[in-house]
Amino acid sequence: MSGAGGTWGDLPARLGSAAVMLIIGASAIWAGGVWFHELVALICGGMIWEFSRLMGPEKRRFAIPMGVLAAAAMAATMFLPGQAVLPVLLAVAIAGATQLEKDRLIYGAYASALILACYGLIVVRDVRGAYWIVWLVSVVVATDVAGYFAGRLLGGPKFWPKVSPKKTWSGTIAGWIAAGAVGVVFGGPALIVLSVLTSFASQMGDAAESALKRRAGIKDSSNLIPGHGGLLDRFDAMMGAALFVLLMGAALGLPAL
């Protein structure tokens, strides 16, 4: 949500909700194991519920079952053999797509991306440890915060007006700079490039959700989080970043922190 314009009226609600999410998220990250898995599963289920509702009012009848199915599948990854995880997770997206008469490809692709991104968070925490999750969260938060304030204070040309008319180039670039600084703090020069690329991926995750909302003609994916809208509105950037890190790690590996 970087580079948004307008007044500061929503800032108190945003900060309050962010504080609550920070406490819950930090506790789960620190505890790891089943606590982190279950938190990610709940978030995944909530986002799939919201996304299913975005596909149109006539499709909302299957939104709750899809959310429950996604949460259950994500929670089950703790107990599944490695080779079964991907088929089980992708089966959720396929099951949802088969319920639609049109836009099946959009549903299947976006739902798959959300589910794999959530699983990416679990993989990073289980395999790389809490430090990597803190780095990932820090990159996304730094990108969002820097973009939010730079966009409102500096303004300027729009980054992608047809998709997200409030985002500016000043906010976008400020997000990259902030992410690079996070890379310096966590891993030195070797992590700067990965941090900036992850920042860009987070912005693309934000843009993808914005495009879906514009297509559906709505402002927020839901009203679950005061000042932020829904889970998709808050975690869209995290999903883009987590999916990128998962794919990057699988393809090329990740540097040492």
* Cα separation, 168 vs 164, whole angstroms: 9
Residue type, position 67, single letter: G
**Phi, psi for 6 (deg, rounded to 5):** 105, -165
88 within 8 A of 76, measured Cβ to Cβ: yes
pLDDT > 70: percent of the chain: 91
* Cα separation, 175 vs 145, whole angstroms: 8
pLDDT > 90: percent of the chain: 59
Residues in CB range of 153: below 8 A, 6 or more apart: none
With a cut of 50, say whether residue 28 has pLDDT above it.
yes
- Would the CA dihedral through 93, 88, 130, 186 be positive or negative? negative
With a cut of 90, say whether residue 91 has pLDDT above it.
yes
With a cut of 50, say whether residue 217 has pLDDT above it.
yes
